[in-house]
Amino acid sequence: MSILQLQVSQRVLSGSDLNPIFSGTQNVDSIKVTFDAEWSGFAKTAVFSRNGLDCYFSDLDNSGQTLIPTAVLEESGTIFIGIMGEKGNQRITSSLVRYRVGVGASVTDLLDPDTVHSLMDLVNEALADTGGITGKRTGTTFTPSVSSAGVISWTNDGGLDNPSPVNIKGAQGVGVQSASVYLARSSSSTSAPTSGYSTSVPTLTSSYRYLWGYLRFTLTNNQTTETAKMIMGVYGNTGAQGPSGVSPTLSATKADKTTTITITDANGTRELAQILDGTDGSDVTSKISSIVQYYCRSSCNSTVPTATSGWSTTLPTLNSSYPTMWTYFKVNYEDGSSVDSQPVLIGNYNERLSSVSAYFLVTSTSDTPSSSASGWTTSVPTLTSGSPYLWCHLRFTFYAHRSSSTHVVYSNVFLLRTYQASGSASGLILNYTGYQSTLDTTQGDAALSAIQMGIMPVIFTNNNYYQVIFVEPYEVCGQKCLKLYYSSTSCSSTCILNCIEWRTSA
């Protein structure tokens, strides 16, 4: 048994160990071929030609070995050996190796090799005459087509069985139908309550100081998803007991011809005015005719001078813009003169949560809008290709103690979801344009938020959508990260193609 040891490197076929083979041998001698990486995945076939005339084909086994066809060894002379590989509609060929078959004991003399054309001459002639190679092995072309429903099917020109049709259309996207805020009170600042949530705002007390809440979204497929529970408000601690109130009192003392008037209030006793008596024998007197209390509200804790506009005998209403209350007394005399006491701080504005509402806005760009921008609404708007970004923020309404006046505080604005065109991958889309984008926590935070709401993101890169099928959180050097494994939308869950890592800020 002789085995011709051959190698293919950069499509050049050569021999390293060519043992002698003689005519008349049948089903004994073979060739064994090793290949470089370019041939990986190709079905490999050996092509034999005897004296440059007839062609014979023999498939290589997994080790690269095949028997030399009997017809090739019927007579002595020169044979040519080449390799052809096929994968789908791809074909690759090697150069030819010339090998001399010796004269065996049972064969007749052969044609003079000098009169035999080369294999390549015959191939070129066949190509020129017929426009293609015909022989004992022909290829089959499979042609795919895709219907409007997304079903891909095949036809072929070789009369072979076609693969089964496959639906490659992605699942219909899911949108947000409505959103509700649920609130509950708790005595713990670390563990969210497991029951008692309601759309009404509960009253906080010193025993139940923490207001917990979450958003519940009803999707267009009638399923629901919820955000993580978080603290939305805290009951204010009772302030220290203030000093006992002191009702202002007036008193007058006389020394010689000077009368001194004093006032005693929460700040102690202090002099208001001195009055000089008339000269001896005169009937001039200056008596107090009235004492009037004035009030004024202020935006700061600094003393408000009595000459400042805004003082009134009517008690004003405090609010978040004017949180402090001041007062002073005006002493009026019968002769038309008057004297003012020093203004004192007598009260502060106290506010409490009234309600929490979710507001929504769609935009045409991915830039985060301001919470005060126009267009925010409590109804969930419809996303379009022109306005593909849906944003959300919360509005907390507070009211003043013992007053109906209110003011509003806004939460941070966050991206809720993005528009998905018909037929594209569903879910939140994360654009991956290069390694540097993985350092941006914006994408990682968006992915984390979507996952917490039960939505697996989609990676968009190289003009293709890839569904995330597995998420692995980890931490390195104090930086929290997400590793997102993704596959093409037509693959099964085991068809992992690649993964990407994004940083997160939480």
CA 284 to chain centre: 88
Residue of 488 and 281 predicted with greater confidence: 488
pLDDT of the residue at 401: 54
How far apart, in Å, do the first and last CA atoms of the chain sit?
Answer: 71
- d(C-alpha 379, C-alpha 40), whole Å: 58
Segment of 118-122, 316-320, 352-356 carrying the highest mean pLDDT: 316-320
Count CA atoms closer than 13 A to 298's CA, side-chain side: 21
For residue range 50-76, list pLDDT tens digits in order.
Answer: 766 678 889 999 999 999 998 888 888
**How far lies 284's CA from each of 24, 164, 255, 376, in Å?**
159, 121, 17, 72
**Mean pLDDT taken over the chain:** 77
Residue 485 burial by Cβ neighbours in a 10 Å radius (0-12, 13-18, 19+)? middle
Q: By the 8 A CB rule, do 33 and 7 touch?
A: yes
CATH 2.60.40 domain range(s) in the chain: 3-130
Residue type, 386: G
CA 90 to chain centre: 39
Q: How confident is the model at residue 282 (pLDDT cuts 50, 70, 90)?
A: very low
Q: By the 8 A CB rule, do 479 and 456 touch?
A: no
Residue of 139 and 493 predicted with greater confidence: 139
- DSSP letters spanning 140-195: --EEEEE-TTSEEEEEESS-PPPPPPEE-PPPPP--EEEEEEEEEEES-SSS--SS
**Does residue 313 register a pLDDT over 80?**
yes
Beta pairing class for 429-431 and 406-410: unpaired
**Does residue 406 register a pLDDT over 60?**
yes
Q: What are phi and psi of 115, to 5 degrees?
A: -90, 0
Q: How confident is the model at residue 176 (pLDDT cuts 50, 70, 90)?
A: confident
Q: By the 8 A CB rule, do 212 and 195 touch?
A: no
Instruction: Return the residue matching tokens 């040891």.
Output: 5
**Does residue 131 register a pLDDT over 60?**
no
**Does residue 38 register a pLDDT over 50?**
yes
pLDDT of the residue at 236: 76
**Closest C-alpha to 215, from 241, 180, 165, 244:** 180
Q: What are phi and psi of 369, to 5 degrees?
A: -75, 160
- d(C-alpha 221, C-alpha 203), whole Å: 35
Q: What are phi and psi of 124, to 5 degrees?
A: -65, -40
Cα-Cα-Cα-Cα dihedral of 213, 219, 222, 225, to 10°? -40
Q: How confident is the model at residue 110 (pLDDT cuts 50, 70, 90)?
A: very low
pLDDT of the residue at 79: 87
Fold annotation for 3-130: Immunoglobulin-like (2.60.40)
